[in-house]
Amino acid sequence: MSTPESARQPDEAVTRLRRLDCCAVSDALDLLGLAGQVTGVPKRSGSAAKIAGRVITLKLHDGPRPDGPLRHLGTTAVELSDTDTVIVVEQRSGKDAGCWGGLLTLGAKLRGAAGVVADGPVRDIDEAREYDFPIFSTSLTARTARGRVVEAATNGPIVPWGVPVEADDYVIADSSAVIFIPAAKVNAVLDAAEAIAFKEAVMAKALLAGKPISLVMSGDYENMLEGGDK
């Protein structure tokens, strides 16, 4: 029996991730020798400074539709979404065709989804702004997907911006970057990022107390990613 939405427990990793920013998470990936940072993806809508959540993947292509009942692209991803999820779309066909649009945005908003991250063109962005729904995307368009691209899979593997991403991985996005974290590594990344954020908070407190910045950002800052307590 499925768990009612009202009875679902919040994802602790999502809760922790939302307390961080992309810079701390990026430093944690560097410390652990991991990749997953994508820069240069602007936020197109939404007033929230950042979004974070567990990934629902949506892959579009210009090939044949998958077997099974006909559904409009993205609707399965919307129906799977909840407050702990971010829908990540890959539309790397090279065609100027919307991989996300206004009705999908409204549907995701009503489900409480945290936002959308799209490697591809998004349309109806003014509607997303009216709904105050966060979308990060490579580009904008008015061109419909109809007759151009179709859904290839939901919650299958994708490679947005060349980064391998699986369903139930994690993502955080803000004005600095979009960062993907493999589910198997999320606790290690969160531990490292929280330690880095704590050290930076201590240094900020020292600056506010009047300590010279040259002293605050000497050994403490330069050695931050070495894992020690210098």
Strand partners, 122: 140
pLDDT of residue 226: 67
- Between the alpha carbon of residue 62 and those of residues 66, 92, 99, 146, 184, the distances in Å are 12, 9, 11, 10, 32
**Within the chain, which residues score under 50 in pLDDT?**
1-7, 228-230
pLDDT of residue 4: 43
pLDDT of residue 123: 98
Vertex 74 angle, CA 165 and 168, to 5°: 30
DSSP string, 171-201: EEE-SS-EEEE-GGGHHHHHHHHHHHHHHHH
pLDDT of residue 2: 39
Nearest to 139 by CA among 204, 108, 94, 105: 94
Q: Alpha helix locations (H) across 58-185?
A: 75-80, 102-111, 125-130
pLDDT of residue 65: 79
pLDDT of residue 6: 41
Strand partners, 90: 59, 119
- The count of other CB atoms within 10 Å of the CB of residue 209 is 8
Amino acid at 102: G
Close Cβ partners of 168 (under 8 Å, ≥ 6 residues apart): 54, 55, 183
> Taking the mean position of all CA atoms in its chain, how far away is CA 85?
9
d(CA 136, CA 158): 17
Domains in the chain, CATH or no CATH each: 8-183 (3.50.30.40), 190-226 (no CATH)
pLDDT of residue 1: 37
pLDDT of residue 222: 67
pTM, whole model, 2 decimals? Answer: 0.91
Close Cβ partners of 120 (under 8 Å, ≥ 6 residues apart): 60, 89, 90, 91, 92, 93, 99, 100, 137, 138, 139
pLDDT of residue 8: 56
